[in-house]
Amino acid sequence: MNKLNRTEIFQRLRNEDPNPTTELKFNSTFELLISVILSAQATDVSVNKATAILYKDANTPEAIKNLGVEELKEYIKTIGLFNTKATNIIKACTLLVEKHDSQVPRTREELETLPGVGRKTANVVLNTAFRKVAMAVDTHIFRVSNRTGIAPGKNVLVVEKKLLKFVPDEFILDAHHWLILHGRYVCVARKPRCGACVIEDLCEFKQKLVD
């Protein structure tokens, strides 16, 4: 895909949604971190339902650490992999309290030292909370990048690097959110809603169908 088409794609996505953001609900960087950890292999809807209750009772590293694993499980038991996530979150909160003065680190390297935080989670926090250039490639972004031809790649790291290289600078900070929302609601996995897609005429997937 050429630069002009990429630019046009992101211009249209921006016109549709000038201020995109995550659908996870949070009121602090710490809450965002915990919600993103919980969102792995789970829907944002399910995470928001659980954290609406959890954050009323505990929304700081100290407070969640003091809950302990078993009590935390009761708050998040409706979320997939809650046993592992509860253990990781308690360990992460302990590290935040003991090594980071209860503050969420601002670098990928430090974030990835926290249990339950991989590259994708770190990138979400860096981009959403700290407004740093970072591309968190989940299944939606991976699919959209490959299907449209914006940044095709065989794995998430290749796609991430291509997006960082090819997305025009004026769109790079919000590109993650535009792509994930487009994949979640329009360019869905099984039956993409091409007729409702604002970039349909620029999509290489659609062009291949026509050819």
CATH numbers and ranges of domains, the chain: 3-20+134-210 (1.10.1670.10), 29-128 (1.10.340.30)
Among residues 84, 35, 30, 38, which one has the least CA distance to residue 61? Answer: 30
Among residues 58, 2, 8, 51, which one has the least CA distance to residue 26? Answer: 51
Burial of 70 (0-12, 13-18, 19+ CB in 10 A): exposed
Average pLDDT, the chain: 95
Pull the structure tokens for residue 67: 């809950």
138 is catalytic: yes
For the chain, the straight-line distance linking the first and the last C-alpha, in angstroms and rounded, comes to 16
What pLDDT is attached to residue 56?
A: 97
Please give the Cα distance from 153 to 187 (Å, whole number): 17
Given the residues 120, 161, 206, 208, select the one marked as catalytic.
120
Other Cβ atoms less than 10 A from the Cβ of 41: the count is 10
- Phi/psi for 13 (5° steps) reads -65, -35
pTM: 0.91
168 contacts 7 by C-beta, under 8 angstroms: yes
What pLDDT is attached to residue 76?
A: 98
Residues in the chain: 211
pLDDT tens-place string over residues 87-106: 999 999 999 999 999 999 99
Given the residues 65, 85, 138, 174, select the one marked as catalytic.
138
Q: How far is CA 194 from CA 3, 74, 86, 182, in A?
A: 22, 41, 39, 11
Pull the structure tokens for residue 208: 């291949």
What pLDDT is attached to residue 67?
A: 97
What pLDDT is attached to residue 207?
A: 63
Residues of the chain with pLDDT under 70: 206-211
56 is catalytic: no
